[in-house]
Amino acid sequence: MGTALKSVFDRVGVSPVVPPQVIVSARTNWPIGMLLGDVINFFNPWLSTNSEELVRSMKRARDIRDQLEGLLERVEIELSSSPNDLEVIKKTITSGFFQHSAKLKKQEAYQTVKSLQTVYIHPTSGLAKELPRWVIYHELVLTTKEYMRQVIELKPEWLVEIA
């Protein structure tokens, strides 16, 4: 459920009730295994004026979780909950998105492995200040620079294992 909520959370807009710096802070400190109650408590002030959007977002999170469960069933993988084993989750994401890997080249610039394109971690990402040596990203967004969104750190040996 944490992965599904994270996906939806990254798309939630900023409202006058929740200042942008609070949203950025929440994204920075968002653990993948965060409990639903923690999410609700964080958004209580925002909820009073944006409840319909939250309901839609939570339904979307449930749909994503259901889709992930269906994929696991289809390939006969038993559904288990292991919020403390983030490495397994990261390895799984890496196996599906290995073509979206990038290596830190200099200062804040990364180079994608597939197209050798120069990209940057989006400033709202929790990893924007950490700058891990290797990352996997979900999408690229072009604004003032080509930014990677929804980024996780990976270990380069995982790419060798997958290949």
Residue with tokens 């994503």: 64
Instruction: State which residues of the chain have pLDDT below 50.
Output: 1, 4-5, 8, 13-17, 33
Dump pLDDT digits (tens) for 47-69: 666 677 777 878 888 888 888 88
Rg value, the chain, Cα: 17
CA distance 100 to 132: 15
